[in-house]
């Protein structure tokens, strides 16, 4: 396993460019299965989750080519309706194959998808939504086999505004007979982008970005070329980095409109966030960082994915900040690492009370999930001495060129392999 070693206490300055959105790229790759014409997706980040998604669709028979950040996909050759469990169970987004495969081929087989271990993450809304459109499911040996004739549009009410379920149903509905209405749909920008991509492919969708999405099924979809929007969670993470250890950081390729809840909380804490020019944000730390309270919510509320990094920021604020997590039930796994680094945090059910002004010091800590790992990186940047973050692969799932980007800002981060890996590589070179 690789770890990240971070020397703390550097003031970061300069420019950092945000990569294309992971959570847009993944559903767009899945949606490309809906057509037999070529698709080009631009500004796809080079991340572990994206690589795994590409491997999954290749196994299904899709042609996949990459040139820099452009992805060339060709689903005219798809000849399988499932992929290896060892790939499916590495990412949550593998569930998004169901909708497109069922819509185009009437069959799909999937095992339990993976992803960050941040709660039970049920899939009932995916099953219910697709079943309402005529899909029959059978379960055997940990696999779910789904079959349907041509899907039939229906009126689907989601018990909660799940991003993944909204996306899966929306993709399935594009080729269904008749109209599908998704009520209590997720409002996230990623859903709006998927709708934009599907519309570019010839789908008939209205209402994306509101809680009622209407999709009129069409008989086929065509190829498209689409550019992925900036990753709002990566952007938000660098905004928090800049607030915590920055001396004037300019973040490029940001849609600030997608980050209103974060901007509001940073400003409430005394941080200055200025859109210096369109798509470019300058973040100046507070002279007196005030503790604030946050509560995570579906968009446009405060994003759960920025809750762990924000809790690191609160360890440096003056006063007591409370953080309530309402989206996932196990999203405080970074707290142990922060506490080991000197943070004063009390965990009480789904809430954290963080007493700020802590002197953090370097330690050996473990990343347990993607955004929890980011929280530890932030704390390490602010800490005295060196921190080693074990299991750095979690960060590779969502932060492109993390070390490079931080080092370009004046940080000191490097990657370290475990002794076993060094030994394995040395042995391989003698083989």
Q: Which positions touch ligand UD1 (CB under 6 A)? A: 23, 26, 92-93, 119, 121-126, 160, 162-165, 186, 190, 304-305, 327-328
Closer of 35 and 304 to ligand UD1 (Cβ)? 304
200/334 Cα distance (integer angstroms): 40
Buried b (16+ CB within 10 A) or exposed e, 18-56: bbbbbbbbbbbbbbbbbbebbbbbebbbebbbbebbbbb
Distance of CA 83 to the CA centre of its chain: 22
75/63 Cα distance (integer angstroms): 6
Least Å from the CB of residue 141 to ligand UD1: 22
Cα→Cα distances 163→39, 81, 138, 214, Å: 23, 23, 24, 16
Least Å from the CB of residue 5 to ligand UD1: 27
Closer of 23 and 90 to ligand UD1 (Cβ)? 23
Least Å from the CB of residue 258 to ligand UD1: 12
Closer of 28 and 62 to ligand UD1 (Cβ)? 28
193/199 Cα distance (integer angstroms): 10
Closer of 26 and 245 to ligand UD1 (Cβ)? 26
Count how many residues are written for the chain: 431
Cα Rg, the chain, nearest whole Å: 22
120 Cβ contact partners less than 8 Å away, ≥ 6 residues apart = 329
Least Å from the CB of residue 185 to ligand UD1: 11
Least Å from the CB of residue 353 to ligand UD1: 22
> φ, ψ for residue 120 (rounded to 5)?
-75, -30
Contact status, residue 264 vs residue 284, Cβ threshold 8 Å: no
Closer of 6 and 323 to ligand UD1 (Cβ)? 323
Closer of 185 and 314 to ligand UD1 (Cβ)? 185
Kindly report the three-state secondary structure assignment for every residue of 313-348.
Answer: HHCCCECEEEEECCCCCCCCCCHHHHHHCCCEEEEE
β-strand partners of 281 = 251, 275
Least Å from the CB of residue 312 to ligand UD1: 17
Neighbours of 431 (CB within 10 A): 4
Least Å from the CB of residue 276 to ligand UD1: 28
Contact status, residue 198 vs residue 205, Cβ threshold 8 Å: yes
Per DSSP, 229 falls in state P
Catalytic status, residue 116: yes
3-state helix, strand, coil in the chain (%, to 5): 35, 30, 35
Name the residue with the smallest CB distance to ligand UD1. 164
Closer of 95 and 281 to ligand UD1 (Cβ)? 95
98/203 Cα distance (integer angstroms): 18
Spot the catalytic one: 46, 51, 116, 160: 116
Which residues are identified as catalytic? 116
């Amino acid at each position: 396993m690789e770890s990240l070693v971070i020397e703390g206490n550097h003031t970061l300055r300069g420019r950092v460019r945000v990569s294309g959105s992971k959570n847009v790229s993944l559903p767009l790759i899945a949606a490309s299965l809906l057509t037999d014409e070529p698709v080009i997706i631009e500004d796809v980040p080079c991340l572990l989750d994206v690589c795994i998604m590409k491997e999954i669709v290749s196994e299904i028979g899709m042609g996949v080519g990459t040139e820099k950040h452009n992805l060339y996909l060709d689903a005219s050759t798809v000849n399988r309706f499932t992929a290896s469990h060892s790939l499916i169970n590495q990412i949550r987004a593998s569930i998004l194959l169901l909708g497109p495969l069922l819509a185009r081929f009437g069959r799909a087989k999937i095992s339990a998808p993976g992803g960050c271990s941040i709660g039970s993450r049920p899939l009932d809304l995916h099953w219910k939504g697709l079943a309402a459109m005529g899909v029959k499911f059978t379960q055997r040996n940990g696999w779910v086999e789904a079959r349907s004739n041509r899907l039939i549009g229906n009126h689907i009410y989601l018990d909660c505004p799940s991003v993944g379920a909204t996306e899966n149903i929306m993709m399935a509905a594009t080729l269904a007979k008749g109209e599908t209405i998704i009520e209590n749909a997720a409002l996230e920008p990623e859903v709006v982008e998927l709708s934009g991509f599907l519309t570019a492919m010839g789908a008939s969708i209205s209402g994306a970005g509101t809680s009622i999405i209407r999709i009129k099924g069409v008989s086929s979809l065509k190829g498209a070329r689409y550019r992925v929007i900036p990753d709002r969670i990566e952007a938000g993470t660098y905004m928090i980095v800049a607030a915590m250890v920055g001396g004037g950081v300019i973040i490029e390729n940001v849609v600030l409109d997608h980050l209103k809840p974060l901007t509001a909380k940073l400003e409430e804490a005394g941080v200055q966030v200025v859109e210096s020019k369109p798509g470019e944000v300058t973040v100046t730390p507070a002279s007196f960082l005030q503790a604030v309270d946050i509560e995570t919510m579906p968009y446009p509320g405060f994003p759960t994915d920025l809750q762990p990094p924000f809790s690191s920021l609160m360890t440096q604020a003056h006063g007591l900040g409370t953080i309530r997590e309402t989206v996932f039930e196990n999203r405080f796994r970074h707290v142990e690492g922060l506490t080991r680094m000197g943070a004063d945090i009390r965990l009480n059910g789904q809430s954290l009370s963080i007493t700020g002004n802590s002197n953090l010091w370097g330690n050996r800590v473990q990343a347990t999930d993607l955004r929890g790992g980011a929280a530890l990186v932030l704390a390490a940047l602010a800490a005295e001495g060196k921190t080693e973050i074990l299991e750095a692969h979690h960060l590779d799932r969502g932060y492109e060129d993390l070390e490079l980007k931080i080092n370009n800002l004046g940080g000191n981060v490097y990657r370290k392999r475990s002794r076993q890996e060094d030994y394995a590589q040395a042995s391989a070179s003698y083989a």
